[in-house]
Amino acid sequence: MELNLAGAMPLAGGAFLTGQDPDQLVLDATALTFACPLDLAGIVAWAHWAASGALPVTLMMPTDQAMASYLQRMDVLRHLPSRPRIIGRVPPDTRSDQSGSLLEVTALNPSNVDDLAERLGPLVMGFYGEDSEAGAAVLRACGELIGNATEHGPSERGAFMAAQLHTGTTTDGPRLEFAVCDTGMGIMEHLRRNPKYAFYTQDKHAIARATRAGVTGVTGVPDDKRGNGLYDVIKDTRRVGEVSLRIRSGKGEVRIHGATNSQRQTLHDRPDQTAGTWAWLTHRVNTTSKTVVQSRE
């Protein structure tokens, strides 16, 4: 199998797993030019998925040395499963302190999730600076996503998260990007545990349903008031800026775009099958926001 990671943000775009050689996974990043947190966490998640099925994993490093260095800097190589085959030049691991603007690929599991929430807190709140209302809303959203990944999506392969906070000086405005890719059962299988939702047969419809209030696969305690996590992620973050949330699970993907006065959602089928659930949150601060980032500009 091969994943062709070409161009900018391939996993956020059209890249998908193709099945030409079922005996190995080749992650071909030779033509990769720009990677977002979803690419970084997704590469690692795919690699672990393959390794858990005893498939050898090969990573073809980007020919663009800056890009190769970025993969190294963001700990993609460090989080690959043991003994991957790496083709291409591996740059030296030199790094400056970027703790205020990025979170390297980090393995997430039930035993470290609370410690990682403590690490995410200062990063997100520091980025939003004086606009603590926006920072708190986005941090709550990130907390819901990592909570979901470890509570509903745990597997032996684990989950991986990464974040990048853009000042907007070289891109289109300040924004926070956060991705978490778990390798668990996926949204549809989780929802179907609840007899109320057992009828779902298409991932995209199950994902869309999961974004509504009070929808949960957790059963056993009646009137438990659960199942508001994804609903809160969107409601909370669109109050304080512009949010884009993509949720990919199984063969489906739902894209939600929300702003203060609007929200739209589109459902998509995917040609490959994501093993678990991936969430990619992008939040752009309001133009009236008083973030530290904007004041620097």
Partner 1 sequence: MNNATTFSVVQLGKYPATRPLGQEGRARLDDLLEGHTNLALTIDFTGVEVMNISFADEFLGKFLTSHDFSTTGTTVRVTGLNADNRYSILVCVERRKIAVTVLEEDGTLTLLGDPILVATFDAAKELREFKASDIGDKLHLKAPNANNRLKRLADAGALHKSQVSGSARGGKEFVYKIVDGPSSNARTLSPA
Note the residues at the interface with partner 1 (CB under 8 A): 110, 113-114, 117-118, 120-121, 125, 132-133, 135-137, 139-144, 146-147, 150-151, 225-226, 228-229, 232
Nearer to partner 1, 198 or 213 (CB): 213
**Minimum Å distance from CB 175 to partner 1?**
19
Nearest to 168 by CA among 37, 22, 295, 59: 295
**Minimum Å distance from CB 214 to partner 1?**
8
Tell me the three state secondary structure of residue 3.
strand
**Minimum Å distance from CB 116 to partner 1?**
9
Nearer to partner 1, 41 or 51 (CB): 41
Following DSSP, what letter does each residue of 30-78 receive, concatenated? TTEEE--HHHHHHHHHHHHHHHHTT--EEEE--SSHHHHHHHHHTTTTT
Nearer to partner 1, 80 or 187 (CB): 187
**Minimum Å distance from CB 206 to partner 1?**
20
Helices 132-151 and 113-128 sit at what angle, rounded to 10 degrees?
Answer: 160
Residue pair 78/59 in contact by the 8 Å Cβ criterion: no
Nearer to partner 1, 112 or 202 (CB): 112
Give Cβ neighbours of residue 131 (< 8 Å, ≥ 6 apart): 240, 285, 286, 289, 290, 291
Q: Could you count the other beta carbons within 10 Å of the beta carbon of residue 70?
A: 18
- Dihedral (Cα; 219, 272, 175, 141), 10-degree rounding: 0
- Structure tokens belonging to residue 177: 């990007």
**Minimum Å distance from CB 195 to partner 1?**
22
271: region left, alpha or beta (phi > 0 left; psi from -120 to 50 alpha): alpha
Q: Could you count the other beta carbons within 10 Å of the beta carbon of residue 112?
A: 14
**Minimum Å distance from CB 56 to partner 1?**
35
Nearer to partner 1, 137 or 247 (CB): 137
**Minimum Å distance from CB 213 to partner 1?**
9
Nearer to partner 1, 150 or 183 (CB): 150
Nearer to partner 1, 235 or 270 (CB): 235
